A and B are shown apart, each in its own frame.
Chain A
Amino acid sequence: MSLVQQFKDTLTRSRQGFLGRLGDLFGGGEIDEEFYEELEEILVSGDVGVQTTLKLVEELREEIAARRIRERSEARELLEDILGKLLQTAAEPVTPEQPPLVILLVGVNGSGKTTSIAKLAHFYKQQGKKVLLVAGDTFRAAAVEQLEIWAKRAGVDIIKQQQGTDPAALYFDAVNAAVARKADVLIGDTAGRLHTSDNLMDELNKIYRVINRNLEGAPHQVLLTVDATTGHNAVAQAEKFNQTLPLTGLILTKLDGTARGGIVVGIRDQLDIPVSYIGTGEKIEDLAPFDPRAFTAALLQA
């Protein structure tokens, strides 16, 4: 079978639900080397990452040996447990004693920050909160306009300035405005930046310091958007961003494709940063709090 044909088949499978294949793997039969190899491939192909995959498979191997399990079908629950434990959400997301709750979104270019902000705005607005957005991407052409359109759709107010303004200065004003207008939640956008750009990372750190100096304890949540199609580089991204300003969680975006976003398992394993939300579509309501059990099931099931 040609390589291309193989991919076409994989694709058809993933449309129907990728893990028909894993279903087969756990379906029946003896646990042998082939089982572990196939499992490795499935995890790697879901972008779980090489290191974490090897570690997970090793852990499963030990558990299976310890419990003297022979049947593949019994191994499934074990693996789900291992993954579930690893992905457990952290304690409740931080909220301040007094509003406003300040949330900052950061991430590399094209990872879905602006769209996620719109979804978060909608999420809080639905809970009856007064939401204020900050059009903090003052670099990319029309990024402000993009967020403005979303703000209108979500029915929330927005703080903006012209393209090219110093975002740190904008945030200084925005925090003051949020306090003055008695907003419950302030959600801030930032320009997309590659984590390897020292200057832009410094700028981000400056934004963080300005917010923190202006309002004690803020920003209460710093969320990194991670595109579900991203491979190993997501770990490097999370690491660098986390060094620049302490991340409280991830938003796993674009989970509506065939990518399964397994790299968040790697990020959790190597950096202990939990997933807070998942983005599952282009509509404003397509955001859900992360459910580790459901995610694990989706990763391991059709």
Chain B
Amino acid sequence: MFSSLADKLQNTLRRLRGKGKLSEQDVDAAMREIRLALLEADVNFKVVKEFIASIRARAVGEEVMSSLTPGQQVVKIVNDELTRLLGSENKSLAQPAKSPAKFMLVGLQGSGKTTSAAKLAVHLRRSGKKPLLVAADIYRPGAVDQLKKLSASENLDFFSLEQSDPVAICKAGLKFAAHESLDPVIFDTAGRLHIDDELMSELGTIKDQVKPDEILMILDAMTGQDAVNAAVSFNDQVGISGIILTKLDGDTRGGAALSVRAVTGCPIKFTGTGEKVDALEPFYPDRMASRILGMGDVLSLIEKAEATMDRDKAIEMERKLRSQQFTLDDFREQLGQLKNMGSLEQIMEMLPGGMGIPKELKQLSLNENNFTRIEAIISSMTPGERVNPAIINSSRRKRIAKGSGTSVQDVNRLLNQFSQMQKMFKKMGAVDKKTAMKGLKKGHKGFPF
């Protein structure tokens, strides 16, 4: 995501970087590129104007002209301004003193409210909460069913009323939550157009009756120039407290996020990055800005690893690695955990330099089928073989290939890779153990990949 914008800014600024000093013309050229890149990224044209104005003022100012490395200065300015525009820090959800916390989701049709509601519930449950999902979208056929099914498959508490109006459903949902001691309550409302006065005032009524602690607007990251109109309108008529940016797993540059943040002043609190219910991540403006500029997003990656990897398992793994008892069983388990972290492509994008990897290479190395194949091969081995791969002779290789539906070459390749990894760990084992443990405490897991 945002990668094309990052490419463009980087290209422009790389040209600047080569020069000793900036002339007015240099700045003009760079600003034009940045302006076009931002417009192509769907940032609203008025927001772009402001952004360019604020950058230009600083770029032609003395701070750059007299500096020895003006290119780097402009990078810094663009980075600062982007971060500022995205909101300076991550804002978490409100945690009201009075139970239950009430979160209401609003947005245009098809922006991803129902999916986000389920994701939010799963996210909150992870931090020990007992969320209730209230389905108040009585207009779209099947909407209530959709949330009900999602809730059932994730074992989440669900509430709705048949043949009732949204306001009554929400009020009854609150009662139900109080009775069952469920907290927080998430209200999924129907998608509506911001110019539909009747439905907008319905939202107002729900708000008055339920008194939500947060009203989160769900925003499709692929939205174009019109995003600001919808956002301003929802904010004016209902009042929003935050934004969830959805469908960021595509290749949209997501400029709408910048614009909506700029015109409403509301923070972006989460991003949706896939169809699975755990594909919800907190939004970090500073990291996002770094990411736009191609500086990678290592912090998100570490947090992801922490959330999906069992801490004890990680420590155990670390011990095994260092004592050189890392077996094929462990290898398989690590693969499984890596898979839980999301698609490989997403993980790669967060690594510094990830933006610079050519697309062909990315696709080659990130083929998830390879993962499945490796898992299948290891699963076709006997426990003895997994602990001591040295005993795998050619007839065993044939059997494993057959059992896993792969070829003997595939099995050989895996065994080679594994033995190389073991060699690598042996070297790692020699590293000072103190530094290793320190790293672990800070949350840096012993990740061999």
Contact = CB atoms under 8 A, between A and B. Distances in A.
Contact of A4 (B149, B224, B247, B263): B263
A258 B195 contact: yes
Nearest to A240: B251
15 contacts: A3-B46, A3-B262, A7-B232, A11-B233, A110-B220, A141-B153, A142-B149, A143-B142, A231-B225, A231-B255, A232-B253, A233-B252, A258-B226, A259-B226, A259-B229
Nearest to A194: B250
A232 to B, nearest CB: 6
B124 interface: no
Contacts of A82: none
Contacts of B222: 108, 227, 230-231, 233-234
Contacts of A110: 109-112, 220, 247
B263 A149 contact: no
A141 B146 contact: yes
B340 interface: no
Interface of B: 36, 39-42, 44-47, 50, 108-112, 139-143, 145-150, 153, 193-195, 220, 222-230, 232-233, 236, 247, 249-253, 255-256, 262-264, 275, 363, 368
Contacts of A145: 141-142, 145-146
Contacts of B251: 195-196, 233, 236
A150 interface: yes
Given A112-B110, A196-B249, A231-B255, A14 B224 contact: no
B39 A8 contact: no
Interface residues of A, number: 57
Interface in A18-46: 41, 44-46
A6 interface: yes
Interface in A74-122: 108-112
Given A4-B232, A11-B233, A110-B111, A231 B224 contact: yes
Nearest to A53: B39
Nearest to A230: B222
A84 to B, nearest CB: 22
Contacts of A45: 44-45, 225
B141 A109 contact: no
Contact of B256 (A8, A49, A231, A260): A231
B39 A108 contact: no
Given A7-B228, A44-B225, A195-B250, A142 B40 contact: no
